[in-house]
Structure 1
Amino acid sequence: MGDRISHLPDAILCHILSFLTTKTAVQTSILSRRWNPLWRSVPTLDFDDSFYAYNFNTNKETYSRFVHSVHHFLRSRDSDHPIHTFRLRCWSSHCDATDVSDWVSNATRRRVEHLDLHLPHPIHMPPTVLTCKTLTVLKLIHLSVIAFPFVDFPSLKIMHLDGVDFVEHCHFAELLSASPNLEDLKARNLYFNSYEIEGKFKRLHKLVRADVVKLDVPLEVVGNVEFLRINWMDEEEEMVESQGTSPDCKDPIPEFNNLTHIEFGYWEYTKDWAEVLKVMKHCPKLQILTIDKRNIEFFPEGDAGADWLYPQSVPTCISLHIKSCCLKNYKGSKGEFRFARYIMRNARLLRTMTIYSNVYANRREKLKMIKKLSSCTRRSATCKLSFK
């Protein structure tokens, strides 16, 4: 049969190589004379220093081998071929800001579309990134964004930020406002000099998905989404208090006319169930609701959230649209139980009520939770209570 794959066009072979790490793609050059030059035209570059980062014998001198290999590859690459994806994952403390800046600048000059940087510690973002008009995907972990004179992302559709430092909150606002075609936004663990929302935010009219912290992004900005996760944790409320921020700084809640799926994220426990329902009143088409508590440590919540009163009117989304409700890390507090009972009593179209118990709950505690939840009246005849 012979070597059929080698007879494929260069474009197809380069596309196949783009699914490999850059190191592996280069190694294919020894297969035959046909394969030798192909790695220079691969549109996806994927560099990862894990081999050096997790080797206890690695020092600055040995790490320089990784640095030199990246520099050599970029110099040897065919400059006539644009870079579609540039992915850099550095875990070693020897990672140097100057090298990163050189590599990223090389990618932006080649009209990169997908830029994915995962760094071990905050490094100043190369200024060339902020004016790269070809970017459609920008994913940053552990970078620092300092003051910039101009930013323009006309083609950007996906922006994921995690552990990114901003000198001022207004810089983050400018970053979002410069991305009018954004469809997917994830912004977690951002750091600012002040936790007050400052700067001129604009609604992102084409946004479909958002995963944000309410203190960082006004809800009006994400008012057009279909999926929304609000990381709106109790620890942040305490942080605001420690920063001296006014508790009345909450921004108005817009009408989420397109929203069908919402998740509320908390660190430990939900303090204000009334506030959850307040948001839900502005989600007329909501079908899927998730309450997610991340801290899995088992501790009794007792009466936490038990003082909220059932509202006189039921939000439209609960009575007419909601089909799925999920409570994660359920510990059986009075507030949690009252909320679960409220949903089951009023949701006419509810199909599934899913409860994920706390991992530290023993068999006896789980049985108690199941028995109590099973006793609740269900407005929907097809509602299935699932306890996991």
Structure 2
Amino acid sequence: MILGFGFLTLGGDRISELPDSLRSQILLLLKTKDSIKTSVLSTRWRDIWLHVPGLDLRVDDLPPYGQVFPSFIYKYIKFNHKSRLQKFKIKYHVCNDYRDQFLEWIGPSVERGIQHLDVETDIGPCMPQNIYKSNTLVSLKLVAVGLETPNSDVSLPCLKILPLERILYDDDPLTLEKLISGCSVLEDLTMIRQTYTPGTVMLSLRMRSQSLKSFRLTFEYTMEGADFSVEIGAPKLKYLSYLSFKDNQSDKIVIKNLNSLLKIDIDTDYMLQLLPIFLESCPNLKDLVSDCFVSTEPELNELSYVPQCLLSSLECVEIRGLSMDEETGKKLVRYFLENSVLLKKLILRFKDYSIANHDSDILKGIGTFTKRSNKCQIIIH
């Protein structure tokens, strides 16, 4: 007899001969709903899923609603409660009946020395205070949950990865600053902010990190009259992504100590004449990904200043959202071709029009531009 559960196949039943500790580590690679299925194999497999040092669970993985879902969580958390927990990944939506039970699920998992915590909801329950003090957390992903002001100093000495999406903060604007300052080895920070609900977002952020290497900041929506200020101090930052889907962009972003920055991805209504000024603060930049900056004012479309990175480090430029009919795009392409000494690739991504017609004026024009780098390859999409 051969039974299959994901990648788990029992032929000669050699897996059943393995120690329980090893089998539980194998099941850790599966989603919890698949791990539970192994309990029907034999009496020896019946409770192995309870020994798996992690949960990866969606609310719809179990019979709908009622008390099945919370009773399952309680059973798992209480079983062998003194053992360490490697990961706890839970997603549940439209389950308001569980709001009050939320802290009872998350708190104990943190106390069990958890390394990876991933919580996604759509009801905004507040995370327990003990997430601010963990000597074991390596990654913490939070989606649509609430963060209260820490009632003491934050201490997360092992946390390296911190994605935060649609977080609801309390009235203290320093909540996020305190969280980041308590992560002494943080390397990767992602913030996706939905900004359409008054009273649930912070209008300013000062972020300081001596260890941060990658930072992604995205504004998904906006509320009328809400402008945001972001100030970043991260001397080891190598990658920055700043995406904004707001109309009438008026946010202010200030980034200090950019000598280590190697790649930038900008997708926002950034005025064209400000681009060289921004790039001047990135003297060692190697890779730039950007939308085509379009201005309706002709006098704002001139590019004359050449920042240091174009002369000494920039190797790859990708420009998205080009149109064959816009002069701004032509000027931007010409600017990088004529001024980038070490440029190896110029990737052009067009919108709205087919570029199959190689006789079009824009494609002809690109071929006539002067290339300062004879190694530059132009790639058109």
TM-score by length of 2: 0.83
RMSD of aligned Cα (Å): 2.9
For 1:237, what is the secondary structure of its paired residue? coil
In the alignment, is the contact (CA less than 8 A) between 2:294 and 2:329 conserved in 1?
Answer: no
Q: Offset of 1:28 from its aligned partner?
A: 0.9
SS in 1 for 2:144: strand
1:197-346 correspondence runs (5 A): 197=204, 201=206, 203-212=208-217, 215=228, 217-220=230-233, 222-231=234-243, 235=247, 237-238=249-250, 251=254, 253-266=255-268, 270-292=269-291, 303=296, 307-312=300-305, 314-332=306-324, 333-346=326-339
Q: Deviations over 1:227-256 (max 9, x none)?
A: 111235653734x5xxxxxxxx664x4231
The answer to whether 1:143 aligns with 2:155 is no
Match of 1:99 among 98, 101, 107: 101
Pairing 1:153–2:156 present: yes
Rounded Cα–Cα distance in structure 1 between residues aligned with 2:349 and 2:96: 42
- AA in 2 matched with 1:387: I
Relative distance call for 1:32 and 1:364 in structure 2 (3 A) is: closer
**What 5-or-longer segments of structure 1 have no aligned partner?**
241-248, 294-299
Aligned residue identity for 1:347: S
Which residue is 2:222 aligned to?
A: none
Q: Could you list the runs of 5+ residues in structure 2 that have no partner in the other structure? A: 1-10, 220-227
Taking the aligned partners of 2:173 and 2:301, their CA distance within structure 1 comes to: 33
Structure 2 CA distance for partners of 1:339 and 1:289, relative to 1, 3 Å: same
* CA drift at 1:305: 7.6
TM-score (norm 1): 0.82
Please give the alpha-carbon distance, in whole angstroms, between the structure 2 residues aligned to 1:292 and 1:14. Answer: 47
Pairwise CA distance, 1:70: 2.4
Conservation of the 8 A alpha-carbon contact between 1:318 and 1:346? yes
Which protein has the bigger strand share?
A: 2
Do the aligned residues in 2 keep the contact of 1:87 with 1:117 (CA within 8 Å)?
yes
**1:303, 1:334 within 8 Å by CA — same for their partners in 2?**
no
The structure in which a higher percent of residues are helix is 1
- 1:6 corresponding residue in structure 2: 16
How many residue pairs get aligned? The number is 356
- CA distance in structure 2 between the aligned counterparts of 1:213 and 1:274, rounded to whole angstroms: 23
Does structure 1 retain, via aligned residues, the 8 Å contact 2:70–2:98? no
**In structure 2, which of residues 48, 69, 72 is the aligned counterpart of residue 69 of structure 1?**
72
SS at match of 1:15: helix
- Equivalent residue number for residue 83 of structure 2: 81
- Which secondary structure state, in structure 1, belongs to the residue aligned with residue 209 of structure 2? coil
How far does the alpha carbon of each residue in 1:136-177 deviate from its partner, in whole angstroms, 9 at most, with x for none? Answer: 111011012233312322221111001012233211111111
Deviations 1:195-238 (A, max 9, x none): 5426xx46311111111259454122x33211111235653734
What is the Cα deviation at residue 354 of structure 1? 0.8
Match 2:28 to one of 14, 18, 43: 18
CA–CA separation in structure 2 for the residues paired with 1:4 and 1:319: 62
The answer as to whether partners of 1:165 and 1:190 remain within 8 angstroms in 2 is: no
* Helix, strand or coil at the partner of 1:380: coil
Relative distance call for 1:280 and 1:302 in structure 2 (3 A) is closer
